[in-house]
Amino acid sequence: MVSATERASNMDDINLRAPAYYINRELSFLEFNQRVVDLARDPAVPLLERVRFLSIASSNLDEFFEIRVAGLKERQEHGASGSSPDGRSIAEQLAAIHARARALVALQYRILNDELTPALVDAGIHLLNSKKIARAESAALERYFQQEVEPVLSPLGLDPARPFPRIQNKSLNFIVKLDGTDAFGRDTNLAIVQVPRSLPRVVRVPGADGDGGPLKLVYLSAIVQRYIGKLFEGMSVEGCWQFRVTRNSDLFVDEEEVDDLRRAVEGELAERRYGDEVRLETSHDCPADLTQFLLGQFQLGPNDLYQVHGPVNLNRLAAVYDLVDRADLKYPPFTPGIPGRFVGHADLFAAIRDKDVLLHHPFQSFAPILDFVRQAARDPHVLAIKQTLYRSGSDSAVVDALVEAAKAGKDVTVIIELMARFDEEANISLAARLQEAGAHVMYGVVGYKTHAKLILVVRREEGQLRRYCHVGTGNYHARTARAYTDYGLFTCDDAIGQDLHDLFLQLTSLTRTPKLRKLLQSPFTLHEALMQRIAREAAHARAGRPARLIAKMNALIEPRIIEALYQASNAGVEIDLIVRGICALTPGVPGVSERIRVRSIMGRFLEHSRVYYFHNDGDEELWCASADWMERNFFRRVEVAFPVERGKLRERIVRDLETWLADNTNAWLLQADGAYRRSVPGAEPPFSAQQALLERHAEF
């Protein structure tokens, strides 16, 4: 048997930065999206949830092209050199991405056409394309086209005086081949029809289900294709094909050079719709000469073309889920629980003062957080409320409460992250509301996204000030709190309260803070603290003591952390990683990572919580955090990790971790070759962690 000392000696001869030990982050993302697609074809998942998962996979892929692929193409155009940790050049990464993405897209459409659409028909739901519109539906749909669609369409015939139009990012468009002469006697061969975003992408066939028959839905694209000839009177439509272009959507704001960050972001939002082109999608039957014409207009190459057998935007399937009111085809409804400490307790401050309270969303309700802010807004003893907002939604109840507090004369300070991707517009609107109410609104720190999840309430009690805190792993967003798994801790611990005071002082005045007492913070202490704790587990293992590490997160790609995990594995530490999405670490490599196991939990809820557990020779440490193990989270964001110190709460989260590790139905296990294998029950009964947690929430 090889001793820990011998293993450590062997590690000295291994280059832990060798490309063979790293998985490409872009390809790892595509494997994550494959797992979403796997749920769309899983017969154990309710039918409309499968439709929703297919929509989610399409949305994920859109963002991947808008941000990640766009970034690689931009670097390539600027002549950037260097390779990814797995040794691939930019060109090699793009080639691998297109090959994998093309196969994934083809699979998505096979699932839609061969599995989901027939299953929907069997369930009495007909999803019609242009070829499936029968005579019985035609008259009603033609009226719908004439009354609702045609008035907002502006077809553009192409000629030398009318250049190819600007096409918005991800908008629905048609290229139309014509024969004949226009109103001015000229030959017109091509036209472009752009469909406004204001039109619903899936509609009910008017009157089709009024007699108790099947529900009939139709794609807007099918309606336009069927009746597009009415836009070109006197000419013959020889063909009509959908297309969609995806553009670079990453905002570029030189924060060091702008005087007003909010106005700069507002300016960039207008340009996002027309960023550089990165992908073209067309109908599979679009003629080759027209696809080449479109590629030329967008300055894209053959690898950027995706021809699909169906609607060019599967995101629109989300509308099917919303339009069909069938409880039997969706996940069963559930009522989130309320922590026992809050049940029958009108005074949340008294409950928190008595003992820390842990929330686990969505199994437990988001309502206590809203109640906490509302009570603070109305309590005459509360002097100040301070909060960070990263994503909160455009109609946030949390913001409503903060506005109420500001209007009531409380000192309200809100750190809003304007650069929260795709939520910038909503955050600008919320900032304006808060400022109008008299709140102090800050936009975070230039160059560092404020991603920490913090609320601090300052209350006068018995002649002194007491701080009440909420720290969490997820956003203050009531809707996503029903879909994302996250932890939140209520506490009035003096040290944590002082730490939050110092953090808000740092974020508002940019002053240096003293060393934090209990919290860990990026970009200053979190990375180094984790490195030290991983090394400490390795030292315990080398000394012959039990050593274990469990970490749950959304992504793991930071090279120094990965290297430290390899070293700990070789020292004898048992390591379980629950990584929902991207993972660049390669598990199960003899002599490098044989004691590391990586799993991804997928299912009804989006696994979003970040938890770090260290056995520490029996003196256990457990942290919850806003940060994934990525370079951006460690070095380019303001993040916070908080300890869970109360014994029962810590035991509860450790139990949750063991529950995720026991899942044998919705867990995918990462293999040494970078592929994922879905776990299946063996002799043991099927076990779903998310279902178990749903059933367990009432205990607390």
The catalytic site residues sit at: 451
> Could you write out the three-class secondary structure of 224-249?
HHHHHHHHCCCCEEEEEEEEEEEECC
Distance between CA atoms of 323 and 325, rounded to whole angstroms? 6
Cα 614 from chain centroid (whole Å)? 27
464-472 and 484-491 as β-strands: parallel, antiparallel, unpaired? antiparallel
Cα dihedral 583, 588, 594, 598 in deg (nearest 10): 40
Cα 285 from chain centroid (whole Å)? 33
For residue 199, the 8-state DSSP code is S
For residue 126, the 8-state DSSP code is E
Buried b (16+ CB within 10 A) or exposed e, 132-161: ebeeebeebbeebbeeebeeebeeebbeee
For residue 43, the 8-state DSSP code is T
Tokens, residue 507: 């974020």
Tell me, what amino acid is at 692? Answer: A
Distance between CA atoms of 269 and 8, rounded to whole angstroms? 52
Q: Which of 459, 485, 116 is nearest to 314 (CA)?
A: 116
Q: Which of 610, 608, 587 is nearest to 597 (CA)?
A: 587
Beta bridge partners of 188: none
Tokens, residue 475: 């956003």
Tokens, residue 285: 């039957």
Max Cα-Cα span within the chain: 91
Distance between CA atoms of 47 and 327, rounded to whole angstroms? 11
Beta bridge partners of 454: 471
Buried b (16+ CB within 10 A) or exposed e, 536-567: bbbebbbeeeebbbbbbbbbbbbebbbbbbbb
Q: 130-135 long-range CB contacts below 8 Å, 24 or more apart?
A: 130/221, 130/222, 130/223, 130/225, 130/226, 132/222, 133/218, 133/222, 133/226
Helix (H, G, I), strand (E, B) or coil at 3: coil
Tokens, residue 672: 């040494």
